[in-house]
Amino acid sequence: MQPDLRITLPDDWHVHLRDDEMLEAVAGHTARRFGRAMIMPNLDPPITTVAQANDYRARVLDAAAAASGDTRPFDPKMVLYLTADLSIDDLIRGHQAGSVLAVKYYPAGATTNSASGGTSIISFKPVLEAMAEHGIPLLVHAEATSAELDIFDREAAFLETEMQPVCEELPELSVTVEHLSTAAGVALVRSYANTSGSITPHHLSCDRSDLLANGMRPHLYCKPVINSRTDRDALRAAAVSGDKRFFLGTDSAPHPLATKEAEVVRAGIFNAPYALEVVAEVFYQEGALGDLERFVSINGAVRYGFEPSDKLIRLRRRSEEEVAKDPPADLVTSEGVRVRMFGVAEANLWTIA
């Protein structure tokens, strides 16, 4: 008999919804599948004030309501981009008012729209100290940017030179290492009491051979990059362990097809439509479906101070005898821009309602 289970409505603790036409096209996919979503602030220009966050949240809600076709409430959680211009007073007021949940650190030049990022986390120590005092979480894109570093070593290097000093100097600061990609990241999270880690569907299901071994697959290119089989297995072990420090953050990041199939490829994987199917298949392969709910629905909510949803969803794995129609592989925006979706194979294996 194929698995058939009901779990608490999941949350996505790391998602890129973009803005304007792309926001209108993608927001409904996140709103249909998740009760809450942590919305990344790396727009151009970035979200650095509470007023900007409030305005962006309103646009997100409008786009989600127009596209989701679902009357279930959707709760986007807003994040400010850590820059030299960020006001501590504005941040604290916004957090106390419930307008802003967290602050995101990007190393300058590490990924999409990261030009406004920093060159050292600890250089923001006055902001971090205020965040620790007021219980405001720090979200970190953990990737060194030195051209001398091998691309596959950049997360581990960042953790050693940037993340460890912050965790040791500011042990009261709540830190989430976003989109973990290595065994080193898993080890760091387990080494510090106030540190957690989000893990993506693509880092759980793929390794760098999927990216490179049989022809370069640009739609698997993301930052930090998908790493070795050993790293993938460490991420899987962490996810299925039930450890409350690890939870789902899809890092769903839409890019037009033209920028993913180009001479210089943009980093990002759009997985929101089929993220849960991919993760469910990973847990099925690992014989750990009993721990799926903790990873996608419980751990992240508890980490950020929320009660898990009182809504349930049903996941059922199709039998071999069932014939499934191929789900769409591309999203098309209102202006005809195509975006490739990750997880089509897994979406053929699972139904979610």
Q: Of 251, 291, 310, 330, which residue is the catalytic one?
A: 251
86-132 tens-digit pLDDT: 999 999 999 999 999 999 999 987 677 666 777 899 999 999 999 99
Nearest Cα neighbor of 186 from 173, 204, 168 is 204
Helices 275-285, 229-240: crossing angle, 10 deg rounding? 90
256-314 tens-digit pLDDT: 999 999 999 999 999 999 999 999 999 999 999 999 999 999 999 999 999 999 999 99
| Domain harbouring 210, CATH code | 3.20.20.140
pLDDT range class, residue 67, cuts 50, 70, 90: confident
Q: Which ranges of the chain does DSSP label H, i.e. alpha helix?
A: 20-33, 50-68, 88-97, 125-134, 154-158, 164-169, 183-191, 201-205, 208-212, 229-240, 257-260, 275-285, 292-293, 299-303, 344-349
More confident residue, 141 or 70: 141
**Is 90 tagged catalytic?**
no
pLDDT range class, residue 319, cuts 50, 70, 90: confident
Burial 75-110 (b: 16+ CB within 10 A, else e): ebbbbbbbbeebeeebbbebbeeebbbbbbbbbeeb
- For the ranges 5-19, 289-303, 318-332, the lowest mean pLDDT is seen at 318-332
Q: Which tokens go with 216?
A: 């370069």
181-221 tens-digit pLDDT: 999 999 999 999 999 999 999 999 999 999 999 899 999 99
pLDDT of residue 321: 76
Q: By percentage, how much of the chain surpasses pLDDT 70?
A: 96
20-55 tens-digit pLDDT: 999 999 999 999 999 999 999 999 999 999 999 999
Range of the domain at 81: 4-352
Domain count, the chain: 1
